[in-house]
Amino acid sequence: MSLLTVSTVAELREFVQQAKFKGLSVGFVPTMGNLHAGHMSLIKHAKKHCDVVVASIFVNPLQFNDESDLTSYPRTLEQDQALLTDNGCHLLFAPTVAEMYPNGQESQTLVSVPDISIGLCGGSRPGHFDGVATVVSKLFNMVQADKAFFGEKDFQQLAVIRKMVQDMCIPIEIMGVATERSSDNDTAGLALSSRNGYLSPEELTRAPVLYATLKEVAAAIQQGNDTLSTLENAQARLTQKGFKVDYLTLCRQSDLKPVTADDTQLVVLVAAFLGKARLIDNLPFPLNRTND
Ligand code: PAF
């Protein structure tokens, strides 16, 4: 089957209904386009777990709190279609803003996931996760897939979506996929992201420091070092390397709340500006507390 691109909900529904009528399972990969190897890893996972793979490309205005960020967000449809074709995606849903928000964005019913949307990226981008939860719940209703695939790079986003699906009893299985990282010599370890495109060649060579720092923090905490001073020292090192740190913090994985003495599944998360680019990354890790 070659890639079919549709832009209306009616065409999308028709395609998915036919697949389901044939007894095929449907996997869904929502994206904002400008696709790279990280997205292709989601497509590969979807193909492994489902018979038919639907991807969407929609730069969702509702989740941007900065107008210039929305306008400058890279739109590369033809290149994206070629990548999706090469990786065996079956259907691309690429709606217009009017198709997604026919009654206008202002009067759109909002989905808001409390607690977990506050803080971290939700702190610096107010309303961002309401925009994400709203568009993702609409897309889930439009596609009616069996499983949906999201990258763990957006750790808070994944947690928000899992909570939304649970709270709203949405009949879909959420699959988290490990962050895809650069294996090039100059940028090894850097999490793949559309926002890396905003980095100058010189900034690109410095950007892997972000992940290296997360690994150092995780190792130090696993060795029993004090959390606060570990984070402070790591933040100082990032600042010295020219990053403007938005947050660098340790949370428990389940709900991104502060770590308590009983928690063993932790995650260190970072958001930092390097030049124009706001980069995010995280590293989940276990903590063995038997020696405490
Ligand atoms: O992660 C993204 O690309 C977007 O936030 C998503 C999930 C496609 C919703 O617009």
Residue 292: pLDDT over 60: no
211 is written with which tokens? 């992940």
User: What's the pLDDT band for 2 if we cut at 50, 70, 90?
Assistant: confident
Tell me, in angstroms, the distance from the centre of ligand 1 to residue 201's CA. Answer: 26
With tokens 């990226």, the residue in question is: 121
pLDDT at 114: 96
Please give the average per-residue pLDDT across 24-44, as a whole number: 98
Please give the average per-residue pLDDT across 62-90, as a whole number: 96
pLDDT at 290: 72
* Assigned superfamily of 4-177: HUPs (3.40.50.620)
Please give the average per-residue pLDDT across 135-158, as a whole number: 98
DSSP-derived secondary structure letter, 61: G
Q: Hey, which of 92, 111, 132 would you mutate to test ligand 1's pocket, going by the most ligand atoms within 8 Å of its Cβ?
A: 132
Please give the average per-residue pLDDT across 126-131, as a whole number: 96
pLDDT at 122: 95
pLDDT at 291: 54
With tokens 């977990």, the residue in question is: 116
Separation CA 227–CA 288 (nearest Å)? 15
Please give the average per-residue pLDDT across 238-251, as a whole number: 98
Separation CA 205–CA 182 (nearest Å)? 11
Q: Is 78 exposed, middle or buried (0-12, 13-18, 19+ CB in 10 A)?
A: exposed
Please give the average per-residue pLDDT across 63-92, as a whole number: 96
Does residue 31's CB lie within 6 angstroms of at least one atom of ligand 1?
A: yes
pTM comes to 0.96
Helical axes 155-167 vs 128-143, angle rounded to 10°: 60
Please give the average per-residue pLDDT across 283-289, as a whole number: 94
Selection from 180, 193, 188, 160 nearest residue 279 by Cα? 193
- The H or E element containing residue 282 is strand 277-286
Helix, strand, coil distribution of the chain in percent, nearest 5: 40, 20, 40
pLDDT at 26: 98
Does residue 221's CB lie within 6 angstroms of at least one atom of ligand 1?
A: no
What value does the mean pLDDT of the chain take? 97
Show the DSSP H helices in 50-127 as ranges.
67-72, 77-86, 97-100, 121-124
User: What's the pLDDT band for 123 if we cut at 50, 70, 90?
Assistant: very high
**Hey, which residues are catalytic here?**
39
User: What's the pLDDT band for 1 if we cut at 50, 70, 90?
Assistant: low
Please give the average per-residue pLDDT across 12-16, as a whole number: 98
Residue-range domain boundaries for the chain: 4-177, 185-284
Residue 8: pLDDT over 60: yes
Does residue 32's CB lie within 6 angstroms of at least one atom of ligand 1?
A: yes
Tell me, in angstroms, the distance from the centre of ligand 1 to residue 190's CA. Answer: 20
Helices (H) and strands (E) in the chain, counts: 11, 9
Ligand 1 atom closest to 59 (CA): 10
Tell me, in angstroms, the distance from the centre of ligand 1 to residue 219's CA. Answer: 31
Distances (CA, A) of 276 to 38, 126, 167: 21, 19, 36
Asked if CATH classification 3.40.50.920 holds for the domain at 185-284, the reply, yes or no, is no
Burial per residue of 130-156, b for 16 or more beta-carbon CB atoms within 10 angstroms, e otherwise: bbbbbbbbbbbebbbbbbbbbbbbbbb
pLDDT at 266: 98
Please give the average per-residue pLDDT across 231-242, as a whole number: 98
